[in-house]
Chains A and B, each alone.
Chain A
């Protein structure tokens, strides 16, 4: 199955700054997904990123706050902009890597102070 490398694994950031999270897949994938997760809780989808088109955002998430890039079929970035403590969370990327299977990155644990 595919492997997704996500970085950074964790970061502590000052409020008002931005952080860009990167995900690299070891094979070409059509769709990539970005999630947010509070520790011990379920995943909330932020947006779907297709190569060559703008990301599709879920209700409650906007492009100005979470800009996404998808320059090719193996790479995507999520930026958390103008951060506040409420943005402290785990951010995960994912890709559909089989008929049914989804592979996830190991997550980025973000703390905003």
Chain B
């Protein structure tokens, strides 16, 4: 079973600060995805990284896929209250299932 370890589990920061969320595994993944979920909604796909070493940017969010395709990180620059939410990394497993990390609950205080 492929597991994804996500850290930190909780993060509370002030508006304008930077932060990084990590997603690690002992297994190689063909791709990794990052989702954000707000209360009362389902997770929404932010990005998919496919190539080892790949870096993708989405406005103030930077996603990186490790060279060995065993880890990924999400960096947010100058966080805003609108970034508050549950961030989940996920990777494909057998039968088109998704394996999810434990999630990072981010709170950005104004």
Contacts and interface: CB of A to CB of B under 8 A. Distances in A.
Interface stretch (A12-20, A64-72, A75-83, A95-103): A95-103
B48 A100 contact: yes
A31 interface: yes
A111 interface: no
B41 A107 contact: yes
A102 B40 contact: no
A42 B95 contact: no
B42 A104 contact: yes
A107 B98 contact: no
Dominant SS at the A interface? strand
B48 A40 contact: no
A106 interface: yes
A112 interface: no
B106 to A, nearest CB: 11
Contact of B33 (A39, A45, A100): A100
Contact of B45 (A31, A48, A102): A102
Contact of A43 (B39, B41, B88): B88
A31 B105 contact: no
A96 B101 CA distance: 18
Interface of B: 31, 33, 39-45, 48, 50, 86, 88, 90, 92, 95-98, 100-103, 105
Interface of A: 4, 6, 9, 31, 33, 39-43, 45, 48, 56, 92, 94, 96, 100-107, 109
Given A40-B86, A102-B45, 6 more contacts: A6-B42, A31-B96, A33-B97, A41-B102, A100-B31, A107-B40
